[in-house]
Structure 1
Amino acid sequence: MRNDFHGIYPMLYTFYDDHGGLDHDAFVRQIEACIASGVHGIALLGIVGEYNKLDIREKMKIVEWALETVAGRVPVAVTVSEPSEYGQREFARAASQLRPDWLILQPPAIRNVPEREFVRLFGAVADRVDLPIAIQNNPVNLDVVLSASALLELHRNHPNICLLKGEGPILYVRRLIEDTQGVFKVFNGRGGLELPASTLAGCVGLIPAPELADVLARSWDLMISGDGGLIRDGERLHADILPLLTYLMANPEHMLCYGRDLFARRAGITTVNPRHPCVTPHEFGMRILERLSAGLTPLPA
């Protein structure tokens, strides 16, 4: 089973049309801009994709559109975030029939449940599909985080569970890699804030939002080149966008509000319709965004 996934996988935004439905044209333009920017893969239905505001038919439509548009040019990862074992099994089965390259299982946001229940849930999903699977461990934004011992048990009993979306501060991610004994390929996230440190920690890639995918993809390629001069170039490239990344990563709602707007402007998407309830742009917030992003060029088409 393929497990050579690596690099920058932007987690796509969801765009809506004037009537509140999914905007196909904006979604396709987003994919084309990301691929033209040199990304190494595409990820779907994460927090910035507003999975919590989509019904099951919309989620499947997004998977269909993405796989049709990507057409095998880069790998595609699909997040499974249904709030029950039955829901995760059925969505994973339906999505896998469309043949994405791997799945990301997000723990249902149910507190005070024994960890054993999540181990059983993820194992049941893994047994229903013939795709590589990542577990999402995000102590910053999710209510449920699995221990290293639980993750190792999952990998031992279900070998297709072989990746982690191990998002968090870099020391947490490094400990996660160490405590799971290197059996998982680990992708960090957090918008790409700690890209240079992630390469040093042993991550195989990052899953950020897409508004800076071109810069992050270039920085990643330089950082893993093995050439000291190119690595320093990658660090400088990342340092140039670090104030903007820090601003965007204030919280998920903030990123959705300002990050999606920034991506749309860079990709030539003229209208951004939010799906309410949501945080809406503030005049002062937009002034900060414009100042921090002033040096960015349009994304390639």
Structure 2
Amino acid sequence: MKVNWRGVYPAVTTQFKEDFSIDHHSNSKMLEQLIAEGVHGIIVCGTVGENCSLSAEEKREVMRQAVEVAAGRVPVLSGVAETTTALAAEYAKDAEEIGIDGLMVLPGMVYRSTEDEAIYHYQQVAAATKLPIMIYNNPITYGVDVSIEGMKVLSAIDNIVAVKEATEDTRRITELYREFGDRFIVFGGVDDIALESLMLGATGWISGLTNVFPQESVKIFNLASEGRYEEAREIWRWFLPLLRLDTIPTLVQCIKFAEQLAGRGSERVRGPRLPLKGEQRAYVEKLYQEAVENRPK
């Protein structure tokens, strides 16, 4: 299966009204703005989209809306973050019917899988759909690493086409290419090592902070793709303090608060998450203001 996934794909937030119902109007406005500013694809219902805080029907509503807004202009992928393999397979079937372009599949939630169990989970989800699938490999957050040996097993499945590499070990990108060549599309999945990942051959970047500064994110990718690393580094060094917010437990609150500061959304999150307060809130505001004051021309 061949897909043309490359570039910067923001993992978009899910916007909520004051009563914490989904704000579909704000979601549409946010998606339109990101597409207009040049992002190459969209990820809905990821970690930043608070997947596990949404009901089953709400997730499907978010997917339908994103597909409708994108209208084929950019690929739209959905995170698959379910508690059981059966529910994940059902979600994949529904996503295909809705018209999503692909799936970013996480291991089963709550239960910390072994590698064999994670591989089984991915196999079953892939068997339930014809959609192209990206494996989300994030052992730091989800407690299981799909190793190179594990990826060998998954390489036998035609519709598993990509991996979001979030081990925080950039050596894994080289290992994937050494072992598999171009068998898998490789996306960098950690904001604060995205440039290094692109330099090592990753063809895409799934990002949280792109929601706040999409134009700079796209420019970093484009410059790196052209081998113009010195120019990319200038923007990268400006961006790095904010990008580090993607690697901490409160990343969702940090990104949403930065979106609010930028006039691009609301900081509302669903419990058990709570909005930032105190020193951490002040720190994020300080980083944002410094970024705006020193924004590259």
How large is the Cα RMSD of the aligned pairs? 2.0
2:285 to 279, 290, 298: 290
Query: Aligned partners of 2:17, 2:175: CA distance in 1, in Å?
Result: 41
Q: Measured at CA, do residues 47 and 170 of structure 1 come closer, stay the same or move farther in structure 2, by a change above 3 Å?
A: same
Identity over aligned pairs, percent: 26
Q: How does 1:33-182 map to 2 (within 5 A)?
A: 33-109=33-109, 113-156=113-156, 158-178=157-177, 180-182=179-181
Q: TM-score, normalised by structure 1?
A: 0.89
CA contact (8 A) 2:242 2:288 kept: yes
Query: Aligned partners of 1:41, 1:99: CA distance in 2, in Å?
Result: 15
Deviations 1:236-275 (A, max 9, x none): 11111112222x235132x222211211332444x43321
Q: Give 3-state SS (helix, strand or coil) of 1:9's partner.
A: strand
Q: How far does residue 287 in structure 1 lie from its aligned partner after superposition?
A: 3.0
What residue is the counterpart of 2:270 in the other structure?
A: 275
Query: Aligned partners of 2:280, 2:112: CA distance in 1, in Å?
Result: 37
CA contact (8 A) 2:14 2:22 kept: yes
Q: Give 3-state SS (helix, strand or coil) of 1:72's partner.
A: coil
Q: Give 3-state SS (helix, strand or coil) of 2:241's partner.
A: helix
1:252 to 249, 253, 258: 249
CA contact (8 A) 2:9 2:39 kept: yes
CA contact (8 A) 2:267 2:275 kept: no
Unaligned segments of structure 1, at least 5 residues: none
Residue type at the aligned position of 1:264: Q
Query: Aligned partners of 2:279, 2:74: CA distance in 1, in Å?
Result: 38
1:263 to 259, 263, 271: 259
CA contact (8 A) 1:149 1:180 kept: no
Deviations 1:59-85 (A, max 9, x none): 101101111111111111111111212
Query: Aligned partners of 1:113, 1:241: CA distance in 2, in Å?
Result: 35
Q: Measured at CA, do residues 82 and 112 of structure 1 come closer, stay the same or move farther in structure 2, by a change above 3 Å?
A: closer
Q: How far does residue 147 in structure 1 lie from its aligned partner after superposition?
A: 2.1
Residue type at the aligned position of 2:133: I
Q: Give 3-state SS (helix, strand or coil) of 2:140's partner.
A: coil
Length, aligned pairs only: 289
Residue type at the aligned position of 1:37: E
Q: How far does residue 282 in structure 1 lie from its aligned partner after superposition?
A: 1.9
Unaligned segments of structure 2, at least 5 residues: none
Q: Measured at CA, do residues 139 and 114 of structure 1 come closer, stay the same or move farther in structure 2, by a change above 3 Å?
A: closer
Query: Aligned partners of 2:22, 2:175: CA distance in 1, in Å?
Result: 37
CA contact (8 A) 2:12 2:42 kept: yes
Q: Give 3-state SS (helix, strand or coil) of 1:141's partner.
A: helix
What residue is the counterpart of 1:195 in the other structure?
A: 194
Q: Give 3-state SS (helix, strand or coil) of 1:263's partner.
A: helix
CA contact (8 A) 2:10 2:43 kept: yes
Q: Give 3-state SS (helix, strand or coil) of 1:43's partner.
A: strand
CA contact (8 A) 2:170 2:196 kept: no
Q: Give 3-state SS (helix, strand or coil) of 1:296's partner.
A: helix
CA contact (8 A) 1:47 1:252 kept: no
Residue type at the aligned position of 1:5: W
Q: Is residue 2:224 matched to residue 1:223? A: yes
